[in-house]
Amino acid sequence: MEIPFTKLHGNGNDFVLIDEYEKMVIPDDMKAHFAALYCDRRFGIGADGILYLSKSATSSIRMRIFQPDESEAEMCGNGIRCLAKYAFDAGYIGETCTVETPAGEVGVALAYANEDFTATIRMPTPKFERRDIPATGDGEYRERIGEFDVYAANTGVPHAVILVDAVDSIDITAAAPPIRHHASFLNGANVNFVQKTGDDSIRVRTFERGVEEETLSCGTGATACAVIVRKLGYMGDIVHVETQGGPLTIHFNDGVKMEGPAVTVFSGVISY
């Protein structure tokens, strides 16, 4: 069987997209294993996740994302930008659309400026209560885990947020897993280390659940970090986030919105 695919990235957070808009290409019971095979960077195409694009009964389009460990993520901010770019280029959507995800419907506004594509995503309402992250206990989340004070928010998926003086000083492969797997996080958590770099700017490094390593960018993670630093009183209604792969901007003046780029890398055919 030959399967067309498109490789895209949002600030280096890269995805393989399978277009199922007209018909199912990968059966549901094979989607997770397919992700494990083709996310592999040595024996597959290489990606942080597989995006499955399909029609939706309630929204403009539907997105599912499966990760290298075969888990399905509820939401992915960078992935939605990539999905929206592909769908717009294919003529499936216009300059505004809605995307059905397991975390709920997400609104998207998109535009080209010359060759550069940008999308602004209306993110799910951030949740701070432990039951909504989900995490053990009551009230908002703050725990001392090892040497770190850990905050948490759910911005579509659960995120731990740790404020540090210098993100580059963190050995993320050693520091993140004990937090990612901490017993207080009922479904595990993505782990973000954040450094304040200005009155309205931060730097973020993210260890992603499901990928199980640091990724170059995480949209929901950037949003979670901006949400936490704003909640703590360090930032205002616009937060500029620098990720390892490039910039994102989080806006708070009308709900929570994430603005950033998406790039098509190449297309091809898998013999499966």
**Residues involved in catalysis:** 76, 218
* Beta partners for residue 105, in sequence order: 100
DSSP string, 63-102: EEEE-TTSPEES--HHHHHHHHHHHHHTTS--SEEEEEET
Among candidates 158, 155, 218, 221, which has minimal Cα distance to 186?
Answer: 158
For 132, half-sphere exposure in the C-beta direction (CA atoms, 13 angstrom radius) is 14
Distance CA 17, CA 48 (A): 11
Which token pair is 96?
A: 């505004």
Distance CA 246, CA 248 (A): 7
State which amino acid sits at residue 9.
H
Distance CA 272, CA 215 (A): 27
Among candidates 5, 34, 37, which has minimal Cα distance to 18?
Answer: 5
- Residue 5 to residues 51, 100, 207, Cα–Cα distance (Å): 10, 21, 26
Among candidates 182, 203, 195, 176, which has minimal Cα distance to 133?
Answer: 182
* Beta partners for residue 193, in sequence order: 162, 205
